[in-house]
Structure 1
Amino acid sequence: MSRVLRASAIMAAGTMVSRVTGFARSAVLVAALGSAHMGDAYTIANAIPFILFDFLLGGILSSVVVPSIVRRQQSDPDGGRAFEQRLMTIGAVVLVVLTAAAVLLARPLVELYTDAGWSTGKTEVAVMLARYVLPQIAFVGVGAIAGAILNTRDRFAAPMWAPVLNNVVMIGVLLLYLVTAGRSGSDVDAVSGADLALLGLGTTAGIVAQCLVLVIALHRAGFRFRPRFGLRDTGLGEMGRTAAWGLAYVCITQLGFWVTTKVASGAGDEVTGAGNTAYAQAFQLFQLPYGIIAVSVITAMLPRMSRSANAGDLGAIREEFASGVRLVSVLLVPAGLLLMVLGPAVTVLIYSWGNNDAENAIFIGNVLQVFGLALVPFSLFQLLLRVFYAFGDTRTPVFIGAGNTAVSITLSLLSAAVLPPRYVVMGLAGALTAAYTVGTAVAWVLASRRTRGLNGRVVAAGLSRMYSAALPGTLLALGVLWITRELADLTPLSSVVMLAAGGGLGLALYLVVAHRMRIPEVGSIVGMVTGRARR
């Protein structure tokens, strides 16, 4: 556990700074564009490059590339260097071709993900922005390949810190946009072409900076790029066949995202501020604790579990997984409960500025409250997938993902059919929560069969103790929320009080109670923090 904890701490520090600057970026973004029509147009346009990247490489990188590189590092006479060079070469070529095609197809891509009821001006703004931001695909992809190679060499810091530079660049671009565009910057019918160019090209510039950081870090780690195009006897064909299942998984999950986006687009067209931007910003905030805590543990776990799987050491895999679950849950359990209580306070503090108003910010917070229910099952699901990937099994996650997506799509369409437009996006968040809860249960059973057990009783007992320890802090936060709302309206100032008194004291109370209950992961975290503080 200590090795995972140390590696996770390094990554968590970078991820925390990245997420904090991401908070600032989101706040400035919504202040500049609002959470209504202009915000929705930008949200759709900027999502498309990442959707296309996921179709090509995203799922493959998370499921196939790291285990494949680890195997070649262990088996090839050159330590896998030629394999890594071919991977980077072929990946870069494919990414450039995809980027060029995507720019040419910007309009149909935007129309695919938007509602037919969008106005002409709103659609045109989204298309123009998409043409500016689609070149991100190539830079995101090259950076992701570089990050995967770094991870196999146990170099975790750069991939976690690189997004900070992207956020800093974007904050500067958005502030400049806010100053130059002013109130017209949130109006799809009044915004100028020059302002859209600033916004779109500035967004791409942030990704370019992030990619350069990763490429430089990879060079410092000893990687030397040499173009290699030969495919014979390289193992890339085998990886490609395995990756086909990863691609199928991405296609299935993207189908769910497409339905979510279409439904949210329609809701936002009927109720201003209750569409794609509200869902996207709430989801980003929901991902904050997951990104800081769970992603760090997952990234450190996968190379180790892959090595254990190659050695046939099922006991080590079980221990690694159980340790990861406990480390992830010890902070995600209270975080999820506090988000359910304090969601609107978070979003009013961040989003009720500039061209956005408090009512729209509160709605984002209501969506965030629903997402709070999903935090633990979502994170456990991601951990469980890495068990399959460590064995090189990308097939089983496809079937699990298909079940997840079926649940999500069914409940999303049901939300659109039966809920008033203002509550549809909250229904979408509820659909995601239900899908990952079911998916986690199914994935647990199947992964347990593969590893001959996952120490389920120990994990369940640990989670029960964590939820018991989190209950007093959650009730404290709820009491602070009630008192504050009785005394004042929900404003940025009252939000600060709620978050400091309710969130801060609630989390502190949880740590005290959990430490008294001798939950070992809390003791490890407290010991690490106090040890660093004494230095």
Structure 2
Amino acid sequence: MSRILRASAIMAAGTMVSRVTGFARSAVLVAALGSAYMGDAYTIANAIPLILFDFLIGGVLSSVIVPMIVRHQKHDPDGGRAYEQRLMTIGTIALTVLTVVAVLLARPLIGLYTDDSWSPRRIEVAVTLTQFVLPQIAFFGIGAIAGAILNTRDRFAAPMWAPVLNNIVMIGVLLLYFVTTGEAGSDVDRVSDADLALLGLGTTAGIVAQCLVLMVSLHRAGFRFRPRLGLREAGLGEMARAGSWTIVYVIITQLGFLVTTNIASGAGDAVEGAGNTAYAQAYQLFQLPYGIIAVSVITAMLPRMSRSVNEGDLSSIREEFASGVRLVSVLLVPAGLLLMVLGPAVTVLIYSWGNNDLDNAVYIGNVLQVFGLALVPFSIYQLLLRVFYAFGDTRTPVFIGAGNTAVSITLSLLFAAVLPPRYVVMGLACAFTAAYVVGTVVAWTLAARRAGGLNGRAVAAGLSRMYTAAIPGALVALGVLWLTQELTGLAPLSAAVMLAAGGGLGMVLYLVIAHRMRIPEVSSIVGMVAGRVRR
């Protein structure tokens, strides 16, 4: 527990700063572009590089590369140094080729993710932006390889802190865009090609800066890049066999994203401000507690569980996983409940500025409230996938993901057919939640069989105690929300009061109750914080 807690605390600090600066970036983004047509065009264009990266390479990096690097470090005479150099060389070449091809195919790629009702000018803006941001693929990939190598050396700080620089660059670019374009910056018919170049190239510059930070950190960790092709020694055949299932998994999940994006595009055309930008911004905020808490634990867990698999120590895997779930849930349980209560207050404070209006900001918050339901099951699901990856099993997650996607697509199409356009995106968030609840149950059952159990009773007992401790805090937040709204209405200043008073009191009350209930993870966090304060 203490090892995971210390490693997670280092990563969580970096992720916290990253997410806070990400808040600022999102606020400036929506202020500059709005959450309607221009915002939707940028949202889809900026998503495509990450989609392609995940589709062709990113899934393999997240599930296959870390266990393979760990194995080579353990068994190769040079500690895996030559293997790491080959991996970086081959990855850089493949990513460069992929980037060039993607830029040439920008127009058909945009066609996949947009609705037929989009105007020619809106399509043109999206295509131009896509061409400018697609070079991110190469820098995403190189940075991901560097991050994987760093993680296997227990260097977790840089991958968590590097996005901060990306956010700072993006904030500067967006502020410059906002100042130079004014109201025209949110109008697809008035924005110029020079404005689009500033926005697109500036977005890519942020990812370049993030990649450079990781490469510098990798150099300081002792990695020395020496070009090595040696395709046979790189284990590409093994990687392809293991990664083929991961690629299938990514294809399945991206199919779900394709359906979601097209449905949201149609809803955004019917009701301005209720489309892709609303969904994307709510999803980003939903990812905040997950990114700060769960990603840190996941990153620390995978190399350790991979080593335990190589040593045949199943008991350590069970202990590592159960500790990770409890440590993640101890803060995600109250965070999910508070998001369900305070979602609109969060989004009004962040998004009701510049070229966006109050109603659109509230709508993003309504979507965020639905996502709050998914926070705990989504995070546990991601932890469960790492159990399979530690065993080198990339096939089982494909079938689980296929079931997830089938549930999500079915419910999404159903909600799109029966709900009024204004509520469609909220329905998409509900479909996402239901899919991950089902997926978590299935994944837990299969992972428990693989590991000889996952200490399910202890985890379930811990979760029930955490929810018991969190409900009073959520009720306090709800009371503050109602009282403030009755007295002042919903505006940025009152939203800040709701968050500071409602969210702050709710979380403090949860920690007090949980500490009194002797929930060990809360006691560990309180003890660590108290110890640092005494220093």
Please say whether Structure 1 and Structure 2 have the same fold, judged by a TM-score greater than 0.5: yes
Deviation, structure 1 residue 235: 2.2
Deviation, structure 1 residue 233: 3.8
3-state SS of the aligned residue for 1:78?
Answer: coil
Q: Could you tell me which amino acid in structure 2 is paired with residue 416 of structure 1?
A: A
Indicate conservation of the 8 Å contact 2:114/2:265, yes or no: yes
Deviation, structure 1 residue 236: 2.6
Deviation, structure 1 residue 156: 0.3
Aligned to 1:371: 371
Deviation, structure 1 residue 281: 0.1
Aligned length, in residue pairs: 535
Aligned to 1:61: 61
Within 5 Å, give how 1:24-423 maps onto structure 2. 24-423=24-423
Q: Could you tell me which amino acid in structure 2 is paired with residue 31 of structure 1?
A: A
Indicate conservation of the 8 Å contact 2:343/2:366, yes or no: yes
State the distance in 2 between where 1:534 and 1:110 align: 55
Deviation, structure 1 residue 234: 3.5
State the distance in 2 between where 1:235 and 1:179 align: 51
State the distance in 1 between where 2:526 and 2:421 align: 45
State the distance in 2 between where 1:272 and 1:168 align: 29
Indicate conservation of the 8 Å contact 1:341/1:477, yes or no: yes
Deviation, structure 1 residue 415: 1.1
State the distance in 2 between where 1:86 and 1:404 align: 35
Deviation, structure 1 residue 74: 0.3
Deviation, structure 1 residue 273: 0.2
Q: Could you tell me which amino acid in structure 1 is paired with residue 182 of structure 2?
A: G
Indicate conservation of the 8 Å contact 2:83/2:233, yes or no: no
User: Where in structure 2 are there 5+ consecutive unaligned residues?
Assistant: none
Cα deviations by residue, 1:128-170 (Å, 9 ceiling, x for unpaired): 1001100110011100100000000000000000000000000
State the distance in 2 between where 1:20 and 1:232 align: 44
Cα deviations by residue, 1:407-451 (Å, 9 ceiling, x for unpaired): 001011111111100000000000000000000000000000001
State the distance in 2 between where 1:118 and 1:469 align: 48
3-state SS of the aligned residue for 1:35?
Answer: coil
Deviation, structure 1 residue 499: 0.5
Deviation, structure 1 residue 123: 0.8
Cα deviations by residue, 1:194-241 (Å, 9 ceiling, x for unpaired): 111100010000000000000111111111111111222432321221
Aligned to 1:534: 534
Indicate conservation of the 8 Å contact 2:87/2:234, yes or no: no
3-state SS of the aligned residue for 1:115?
Answer: coil
3-state SS of the aligned residue for 2:434?
Answer: helix
Q: Which deviates the most, 334-343 or 478-487?
A: 478-487
State the distance in 2 between where 1:233 and 1:204 align: 33
3-state SS of the aligned residue for 2:288?
Answer: helix
State the distance in 1 between where 2:178 and 2:138 align: 28
Q: Could you tell me which amino acid in structure 2 is paired with residue 148 of structure 1?
A: A
1:459 aligns with 2:459: yes
Deviation, structure 1 residue 182: 0.4
State the distance in 2 between where 1:27 and 1:233 align: 47
Q: Could you tell me which amino acid in structure 2 is paired with residue 48 of structure 1?
A: I
Deviation, structure 1 residue 171: 0.1
Deviation, structure 1 residue 319: 0.2
Indicate conservation of the 8 Å contact 1:231/1:237, yes or no: no
Within 5 Å, give how 1:424-463 maps onto structure 2. 424-463=424-463
Q: Could you tell me which amino acid in structure 1 is paired with residue 205 of structure 2?
A: A
Q: Which deviates the most, 224-233 or 453-462?
A: 224-233
Indicate conservation of the 8 Å contact 1:115/1:265, yes or no: yes
Within 5 Å, give how 1:493-508 maps onto structure 2. 493-508=493-508
State the distance in 1 between where 2:234 and 2:262 align: 42
3-state SS of the aligned residue for 1:487?
Answer: helix
Instruction: Tell me the TM-score normalized by structure 1.
Output: 0.99
- Structure 1 residue runs of 4 or more that deviate by more than 3 Å after TM superposition: none
State the distance in 2 between where 1:97 and 1:239 align: 19
Indicate conservation of the 8 Å contact 1:53/1:141, yes or no: yes
Q: Which deviates the most, 54-63 or 287-296?
A: 54-63
1:14 aligns with 2:14: yes
Deviation, structure 1 residue 82: 1.1
Q: Which deviates the most, 228-237 or 218-227?
A: 228-237
Q: Percent of aligned positions with the same letter in both sequences?
A: 82
User: Where in structure 1 are there 5+ consecutive unaligned residues?
Assistant: none
Deviation, structure 1 residue 62: 1.1
Q: Could you tell me which amino acid in structure 1 is paired with residue 445 of structure 2?
A: V
State the distance in 2 between where 1:128 and 1:61 align: 29
3-state SS of the aligned residue for 1:207?
Answer: helix
Aligned to 1:478: 478
State the distance in 2 between where 1:56 and 1:226 align: 25
Cα deviations by residue, 1:282-308 (Å, 9 ceiling, x for unpaired): 000000000000000000000000000
Aligned to 2:523: 523
Cα deviations by residue, 1:230-279 (Å, 9 ceiling, x for unpaired): 22243232122101111111111111011111110110011100000000
State the distance in 1 between where 2:95 and 2:451 align: 36
Deviation, structure 1 residue 486: 1.1
Cα deviations by residue, 1:15-57 (Å, 9 ceiling, x for unpaired): 0000000000000000000000000000000000000000111
State the distance in 2 between where 1:461 and 1:226 align: 51
State the distance in 2 between where 1:500 and 1:55 align: 40
Instruction: Tell me the TM-score normalized by structure 2.
Output: 0.99
3-state SS of the aligned residue for 2:368?
Answer: helix
Cα deviations by residue, 1:353-385 (Å, 9 ceiling, x for unpaired): 000000000000000000000000000000000
Deviation, structure 1 residue 484: 1.1
Q: Could you tell me which amino acid in structure 1 is paired with residue 371 of structure 2?
A: F
State the distance in 2 between where 1:235 and 1:43 align: 37
State the distance in 2 between where 1:260 and 1:90 align: 34
3-state SS of the aligned residue for 1:393?
Answer: coil
Deviation, structure 1 residue 493: 0.5
Q: Could you tell me which amino acid in structure 2 is paired with residue 60 of structure 1?
A: V
Q: Could you tell me which amino acid in structure 1 is paired with residue 140 of structure 2?
A: V
Deviation, structure 1 residue 487: 1.0
